Each structure stands twice: as C-alpha cells, then as structure tokens.
Chain A
Amino acid sequence: MINMMSLDLEKIRGEFPVLHQEVNGKPLIYFDNAATTQKPKSVIDALSNYYQLDNSNIHRGAHTLADRATRYFEETRTAVKAFINAKEDNEIIFTKGTTESINLVAASYGKKFLNQGDEILISAMEHHANIVPWQMLCEEKGTVLKIIPIHDNGEIIWEEFEKLLSERTKILSIVHASNALGTINPVREMIKAAKKWGAIILLDGAQSTSHLPIDVQELDCDFFCFSAHKLFGPTGLGVLYGKRTILEEMPPYQGGGEMIKEVTFEKTTFNEIPFKFEAGTPNIADVIAFKKAIDYINELGKPVIKKHEDGLLEYTVGKLNEIKGFIPVGTAQEKVSVISFNINGMHPFDVGMMLDANGIAVRTGHHCTQPLMQRFGIEGTVRASFSVYNTQTEIDRMVESLTKIAKIKNR
C-alpha cells in the first residue's frame, strides 16, 4: 500500500476538471503527464479572469489596465525566480517552451562564443530538442557534438563521460530527467566535473521541474530550461534561466519590439536583460496564469508530490513485473515517475490503442528520442507517467488491462 496520508487525493482530483469524464465509456485515467499535465481550476480561472478583467499590453502603458497586467506578469517572473532559486528576477526569460529556451542558447551563446573544433557534450538519452539545435550550430560553426553513452539500465556511463571531458568541451547540455526512461541524471556531479574544464552547463529541466526541488544556484548550472505546461501551467510558455553575467554577454536572439533601448535607422541599442530576449508582445495571459500553477505546487509541496509519485511508480513496477511479456525499458536507480515498457510481440502503438479503448491515456512511440530508441534497438515504447492526482486504483485498472493485452501474444 502507498502511504497517501499527506495528500487528500479526492480534494486534489476535484481541482482538475478534465479528469472527471468518460473516454470510450470508461472513466478517464490520465497517465500521459510527462507529455503535459492537466490544469487545476485556479490556472484555468486565472486565464479566463485575465481576458475578462485585465487584458492589456504590458510595459510602457500609461493606463491602469496596462499597469495591472504588467504587475501580474512580473509577479510570475518573481515567483519563477523563487521557484528555482535564481538570484535575480532578470535572470528569468520567458520563452515558448523548453525547446525555444535551448534554441535561444544555441543560437545566441553558441554563435558568439563557440568556434570550430569546440565540443558540445550531450547524452544518449536527450530529447530531440537538446540534439537538433546543437547539430544546427555544429553545421554552421564547425563545432563538434559528442555523445555520452549509457548503460542498459538507462544510466550515464560515468567513466565514458569523464573521458569525453577536455579543454575542448565548451558546453555540457544535459537532460536532468529523461522523458523516455525517467532516469534522473547525477547532474550535481556532472556539473562539477565539467566545470573543472571550464564548460558552460545547460540543464534541460522539462521533466525534472515538476518532480524535483530545483536550486539553480546550488546546482551551479549556467542555464536551466523548462516548460510551464508540464507543471500544471498553460501551454506555449517556457522559461530560460541564465546567469546574469552570461546573459548580459549574449547577443539578442530575435529583433523587434520590447527588446530595444533605442532604434534609429542607423543603429539600434538593445534593452537590458531579460527584455533583450523577449522580443514582441509576450504570452501575457499564460505567464500570468502560470503563477497559479507555481502557487499550486508550492502549496502541496514538492517533497509530498514526489513521495506520492515515487509510491505510484514503485507500486506499478512491482505489478507490471508480474505480467508475462512485460519488458521494462529504463530501470535506473534514480527515476522520476515515468515507466517505459514494451509488451513482447506487440507494437507499442497497438498497446496504446487498446489501453485507450479502456479510457487509459498513455504515450507510445519514440518520445522524440529516436537515437535513444536506436540505442536500445527498439522502435518505441509505451510510456505511462504519473502526476499528483493519479491513484493506486487507476494503476490497478491499467495493470488489469495490460494483463489482458499481454495475453494475446504471451500465453
């Protein structure tokens, strides 16, 4: 049994309207949280309230609504700063998502500071968003992408990582928690090791930020990226944290309004950080609503959330291991609440469809980690990922369905 003493699950589930529906005639079980989490009513209300009461363009407005919208917008920046323990508000840049955050660093920092022969180090378990922007940079600048290999259980091979580090390593860009396997990488140790060689560190926190306490100062990473929609916030919004000294040295990413100090046809001077990197009217409503998502997590408390999710994960692994034909993919010691697997003889897409027929939402496929799937010699996996509102009863229903599905090919 999972210890759920510290969470009032009924109350929590009551706060997420989307959960209360039937899919294919069965109560919805939402196990696709690593793709995106559902939104609590406070976030949905904040979006609606903004458009009904406060809608206005921010910064430089001489009227009350603009002032109010600006204040709420900047309050989220302060909340994000506290949430990841950055030093200053202006180290928080709003982007479209983790993908844009990484692209921003690759395009801006990469273009200015990287040269031919410099090396960028990533791991074999990266999401395409932490591969392709660097490949594009390599193409343009003649830099070299190096890949840290992983063990069969989905953990980094430490010795190989150390061997890859050298004075040529300019950037270590690494996923904090793998979206496809759930592996939590030993980022503290990795950052320390890479810093000895003077590398700049980017952490892809898309999957870690909703589960693990994040302290960017303690981690001593130079950049940290995450997406709001994976932690109960709106879609189309992400964060790039960067150390002030580095952000100030970086050239703007896009040109337009908001990011300038003064424009003449002869020359433009750029605004200070963070506005230098926020060209154009930002995603105001979603930024404002995002604060409610952060408040929601803070109120529940990340350690409590993590404990609940860990309990669900452990319970699921135990149950699934009993199913004949169950093949886990990624069995690292330290994991977030993601379980990737295959059923012997069956395509993950088919398994996903059969679960959906029972109202159970999981993700199937390569999870935007094709090189990782190639590493395991598989086409894809079925991935169930849990959040704070999931229950043991829901897992029992998934296990029951999977037992039936697995029997088709594993009698």
Chain B
Amino acid sequence: MSSINDIQNEIIDEFSILGDDKESTIFYIMELGGKLQDFPEEERVDENIIKGCQSKVWLTAREENEEVHFLADSNTDITKGLISLLIRVLSGKKPKEILDAELFFIDKIGMGNIIGSQRSNGLSAMIKQMKLYAFAYQTKQNA
C-alpha cells in the first residue's frame, strides 16, 4: 500500500500534465468525481453533512483493520472530484497517519487558484472533518 506522501506525489504528477489550463483541470476534477464510489442512501442524512461547505457534502467513516475508510458524496461534480482526491490520499490509512499527514499536494497543484476561496474553505472543512474522524478512532484504539 502506498504511503500518503507517495499518493500525493502521484497526484502532483497527474496534474502537472494538465499544465496551466484551468478548464482542462476542472474537467479532470469533475471526471475524478464521476468515479467516486457510490454513497449509501441511508447515510445521506443531515448529521453527515460537513458544515462550512458551500455545496452539500456528506462524509462517513468506518474502521477496518485499525484503518479508517471514508465514504463521501456531494451535490456538485467539482466538489465530488475534490473529495475523491482526499479519499484517495487519506482513506485506508491508520488514524495516526491521517492525523500526521501534511497535505502538500493541494498547494503543489495550485488548488487554491483552481477552485477559488469559497471552495478552498470547503476543502479545509472536509480535511478537518476527516482528521476529526481519525482522532476519534485513534482515541478509541488507545482506550
């Protein structure tokens, strides 16, 4: 299994092929969103909505073999693409790895410029929520 940093470097490589063309980058992000694993209907409830996002984002997590696995969805395709990147980097990792992760790929691929300030705030809210889940599972494992 690749490390969090390996996956981030892979993503940086993929985005570097797209160059500076914003339109192609957005289309690519949307395409990634299309490949997001189906989200269970019963989890599409208000408690799973992440606060601080402009568009609706649902996020759940479960623990398997001491690893945290995330599932998420959104009502907008671009946001789904962003979520899919986060899931690719953080899902299936140990809580400590998630908590220690420094998500440098976001700056490296110039995500702030691509998605603008409103969506950047939403992205931060998603990361925070994922780390909160990791923290909860870590606490549980250490108990």
29 residue pairs from A and B, CB less than 8 Å apart: A24-B22, A24-B23, A25-B20, A25-B21, A347-B55, A347-B75, A347-B76, A347-B78, A349-B54, A349-B55, A349-B76, A349-B78, A350-B76, A350-B77, A350-B78, A353-B78, A353-B115, A353-B116, A353-B119, A354-B23, A354-B26, A354-B27, A357-B22, A357-B23, A358-B23, A379-B75, A408-B27, A408-B30, A408-B77
The interface on chain B, measured as residues whose beta carbon lies within 8 A of the other chain's beta carbons, has a size of 17
CB distance A350 to B30 under 8 Å?
Answer: yes
Q: Which residues of A contact B26 (CB under 8 A)?
A: 353-354, 357
Distance, CA A356 to CA B115, complexed state (A) = 10
Q: Does A346 contact B (CB under 8 A)?
A: yes
Given A349-B78, A353-B115, A358-B23: 11 more A-B contacts, CB < 8 Å: A24-B23, A347-B78, A349-B55, A349-B76, A350-B77, A354-B23, A354-B26, A356-B116, A357-B25, A408-B27, A408-B30
Distance, CA A25 to CA B78, complexed state (A) = 21
Mask of B27-54 contacts with A, CB within 8 angstroms, 1/0: 1001000000000000000000000001
Q: Which residues of B contact A350 (CB under 8 A)?
A: 30, 76-78
Distance, CA A24 to CA B26, complexed state (A) = 12
Q: Which residues of A contact B78 (CB under 8 A)?
A: 347, 349-350, 353
CB distance A25 to B77 under 8 Å?
Answer: no
| A343 → B minimal CB distance (Å) | 11
Q: Which residues of B contact A349 (CB under 8 A)?
A: 54-55, 76, 78
Distance, CA A80 to CA B131, complexed state (A) = 56
Distance, CA A329 to CA B119, complexed state (A) = 25
Q: Which residues of B contact A408 (CB under 8 A)?
A: 27, 30, 77
Residue of A nearest to B22 (CB): A357
Residue among A25, A353, A379 having the largest count of chain B Cβ atoms under 10 Å: A353
For the complex of A and B, the 5 pairs showing the least CB-CB separation, nearest first, are A347-B76, A357-B22, A357-B23, A24-B22, A350-B78
The interface on chain A, measured as residues whose beta carbon lies within 8 A of the other chain's beta carbons, has a size of 13
Q: Which residues of B contact A357 (CB under 8 A)?
A: 22-23, 25-26
Distance, CA A356 to CA B118, complexed state (A) = 14
Distance, CA A350 to CA B26, complexed state (A) = 9
Mask of A22-42 contacts with B, CB within 8 angstroms, 1/0: 001100000000000000000
Residue of B nearest to A401 (CB): B23
Mask of A64-101 contacts with B, CB within 8 angstroms, 1/0: 00000000000000000000000000000000000000
Distance, CA A24 to CA B20, complexed state (A) = 9
Residue of B nearest to A379 (CB): B75
CB distance A25 to B54 under 8 Å?
Answer: no
Interface residues of A in 326-357 (CB under 8 A from B): 346-347, 349-350, 353-354, 356-357
Residue among A346, A350, A358 having the largest count of chain B Cβ atoms under 10 Å: A350
Q: Which residues of B contact A25 (CB under 8 A)?
A: 20-22
CB distance B22 to A347 under 8 Å?
Answer: no
Distance, CA A396 to CA B30, complexed state (A) = 25
Mask of B66-109 contacts with A, CB within 8 angstroms, 1/0: 00000000011110000000000000000000000000000000
Q: Which residues of B contact A347 (CB under 8 A)?
A: 55, 75-78
Interface residues of A in 1-26 (CB under 8 A from B): 24-25
Residue of A nearest to B24 (CB): A357
| B55 → A minimal CB distance (Å) | 6
| B11 → A minimal CB distance (Å) | 20
Distance, CA A346 to CA B55, complexed state (A) = 12
Distance, CA A357 to CA B26, complexed state (A) = 8
Distance, CA A358 to CA B78, complexed state (A) = 16
| B120 → A minimal CB distance (Å) | 12
Mask of B118-134 contacts with A, CB within 8 angstroms, 1/0: 01000000000000000
Q: Which residues of B contact A356 (CB under 8 A)?
A: 22, 116
Residue of A nearest to B113 (CB): A24
Interface residues of A in 209-249 (CB under 8 A from B): none
Distance, CA A334 to CA B122, complexed state (A) = 38
Q: Which residues of A contact B22 (CB under 8 A)?
A: 24-25, 356-357
CB distance A346 to B77 under 8 Å?
Answer: yes
| A115 → B minimal CB distance (Å) | 40
Q: Which residues of A contact B25 (CB under 8 A)?
A: 357
